[in-house]
Structure 1
């Protein structure tokens, strides 16, 4: 996915790629991820901590449609009854809804969809080649109907781009109608090379906002706390219109009855 503002861009440097064109064109697929997940969950030292997928890069990018790695990862989480969650911008996760239903029967699980804007221009300019944001809200509704606790994150909130009260309120209303468990928002932060990339974007699409952003980020990667709180308060919302089914409590790390623990692979396959 091509996200102009993505804070994961600098991590591409660990693989000798750059944070600009390479980040948008070179997708590294960890084809052995399911085996590694199962092996880690099976270690005696593992305490069953919550595993959050999608906190750096989206696990349901277009390439997942080809490699289909996520089903085996969810199966491992289910087999070990390990608490987990996912954050994504893609309705592709609906492909795995039956596995998610199995997860909520044995452990704590939640899905989260990122919907920064419903404005067509803002979406196309800041998130080209990503699934339509209204399709994401449709996924929220379908997941909640299926008993999967699902929330909406309005992030990032970008002053002057997607923070108009009317724009945010429309997301709040539609997310509530979709049964979103919670709705929250986070302001844009500009760490490392992302700052320069974002200002290049402003020069091309919104030069009128350059002075404002220079002032907002003169102190570093984060805007002032007062502005962050203003943005967060716009999106802050409690339980949605339709609550998802509750999750039966289970001791941390407790496995589902009858779980068969597969041994780790003899060797790790290489990254691709």
Structure 2
């Protein structure tokens, strides 16, 4: 193991651009266990992040113990945030991970303030709190403990199977505060998943984590997003995903089409040109210029395809667009709703016929 030490408040001439004066930088760490990844350990001044009122996010408070993510999802919407540190949103985002080693202690102090009103706190909306680094730094137990002790409800969204480590702690926390768990699984084809999310656990490993959380008493939501045009939006792909999600015990699904925000867009298009050059012109048509979201027509087409399949699988759920600012994320900020209403359709075949009504495909 190689340790690169640095005194607090002293600029490091050898540091990466943007990190030489990073507030609270303790040291930068590399280790063979995480080949190609450098962890920059910092002392955070704050832990609670207030989401601006102008944001489309349907929650007000987050905690992010890490910046950057070794999951290396090429489409990750948070990539652009790395540029604030003068790091790039591509390879640096995957390999230069900022670790707030004192985040639990700072959070505990903030939650003790008389001004704190115990609003729900969301974890996992920027970078994943259960990415591989969490296996080394073990920041989440302290965060969970601080939130629970203060009586603050919280939600966790992750792609990480490390969540299973903390299920006993989370189950205990749920006896005192509202705890909601969600697993993000975008790609169920192993070959594609390895290409587009090279640092993530497999879909099956994540489904096993859903099963474990369900057995621990949680009503788990699965985020089936982003759905990738021409890659994961076929009827067969969606039906297979929902079949496996249902079998794992999840109760709700939140779905949505790919977002390509600045930083992520350039990185994703570079990947697409390398792996699927035949789709480049189609994606340029769907996400022209500075556009970050799929066209409304595509999202409507996708909803017509997904909603009947949610019904046929007996899953509750909604599109990410269905919950504007100021409403809780269903299944996350509040307890999941009752199981989906009885399926109106009398057979799976009729459900699939309704889905097929979205054809012919125009995208």
Same fold per TM (> 0.5)? yes
Of 300, 314, 321, which aligns to 1:229?
Answer: 300
Q: Give the number of equivalent residue pairs.
A: 244
For 2:223 and 2:272, the matched residues in 1 are separated by: 23
> Paired residue for 2:284, among 210, 214, 217?
214
Q: Which residue of 2 aligns with 1:184?
A: 254
- Report what 1:111 is aligned to: 181
Higher fraction of strand: 2
- How far apart are 1:231 and its partner, in Å? 2.9
Which residue in 1 is equivalent to 2:235? 165
Which structure exhibits the higher relative contact order, with contacts defined as CA atoms closer than 8 Å and separated by 6 or more residues?
1
Unaligned runs of at least 5 residues, structure 2: 1-70, 317-330, 336-363
In 2, the alpha carbon distance for the partners of 1:113 and 1:225 equals 26
CA displacement at 1:232 relative to structure 2 = 4.3
Pick the aligned partner of 2:142 from 72, 77, 83.
72
With the length of structure 2 as denominator, give the TM-score of the two structures: 0.64
Q: Is the 8 A contact 1:117 1:168 kept in 2?
A: no
Kept in 2, the 8 Å contact 1:122–1:162? The answer is: no
For residue 254 of structure 2, give the secondary structure of its aligned residue in structure 1.
Answer: strand
Return 64-73 or 112-121, whichever deviates more.
112-121
User: 1:189-208 counterparts in 2 under 5 A?
Assistant: 189-208=259-278
* CA positional deviation for 1:24: 1.2
- Give the secondary structure class of the aligned counterpart of 1:27: strand
| Residue pair 1:152, 1:183 contacting (<8 A) in 2 also | yes
Q: Which moved more, 1:61-70 or 1:189-198?
A: 189-198
**Residues 133-174 of structure 1: per-residue CA shift (max 9 Å, x gap):** 111011101101111221101111110111121111111111
User: For structure 1, which runs of at least 5 residues remain unmatched after alignment?
Assistant: 248-272
Q: Residue in 2 aligned with 1:143?
A: 213
* Residues 182-220 of structure 1: per-residue CA shift (max 9 Å, x gap): 112111111112211111111100111111111111261
Counterpart residue number, 2:91 = 21
Q: What pairs with 1:250-269 in structure 2 (closer than 5 Å)? A: none
| 1:32 Cα deviation from its structure 2 partner | 1.0
Q: CA deviation at 1:74?
A: 0.6
* Structure of greater Rg: 2
- Counterpart Cα distance in 2 of 1:178 and 1:229: 28
Q: Aligned residue for 2:126?
A: 56
Q: Say yes or no: does 1:87 pair with 2:157.
A: yes
Structure 1 vs Structure 2 CA RMSD: 1.9
Deviates more, 1:85-94 or 1:169-178: 169-178
